[in-house]
Amino acid sequence: MPYVLSSKGMNKCIGCLTCMLVCSVVNQDDFAFDKCAVRIRSNGCLTSNYIAIVCRGCSVPACKEVCPVGALNSRAGGGVLLNAEKCIGCRRCEPACSVQAVRFDEATQKPIICTHCGVCTTFCTHDCLMMVEAGGVNSGK
């Protein structure tokens, strides 16, 4: 069974941002907060709680549906994989994502798409992020 990323344990997050940095290093070969597919931010209240903006692994991904050149392909278990060679950098996938998980890399002119590789979960010292069996978090959109 394929796995997808889940952020159900965010009540334990201390905001170290290690998951973001390791994602950018492993997947984008860059050590930068703006080059990662997972984003951690404050939930906006004074209690210092954090939320994770991550791909939910939609079974019918809106980002894929709006891509005019078919650069986003369905991933087993939900979500998409980017075919960077096909991508024309139109950015339609960004606003199509209901959870704002698609980021755009200005340097490459391509979207940064979570591949559900799990590297962020491996380095999350408080088990805030985890890989779960596909279907457990899919939004069905």
140 pLDDT higher than 50: no
1 pLDDT higher than 60: no
Asked if 112 contacts 102 with a C-beta cutoff of 8 angstroms, the reply is: yes
pTM across the whole model = 0.86
Identify the pLDDT of residue 47: 66
138 pLDDT higher than 50: no
Q: What is the DSSP string of 85-112?
A: TT-----THHHH-TT---EEETTTTEEE
48 pLDDT higher than 90: no
Question: How many Å apart are CA 106 and CA 4, to the nearest integer?
Answer: 26
Report residue 41 as tokens. 């931010």
Identify the pLDDT of residue 107: 94
Report residue 61 as tokens. 């991904």
What kind of fold does domain 3-133 have according to CATH?
Alpha-Beta Plaits (3.30.70)
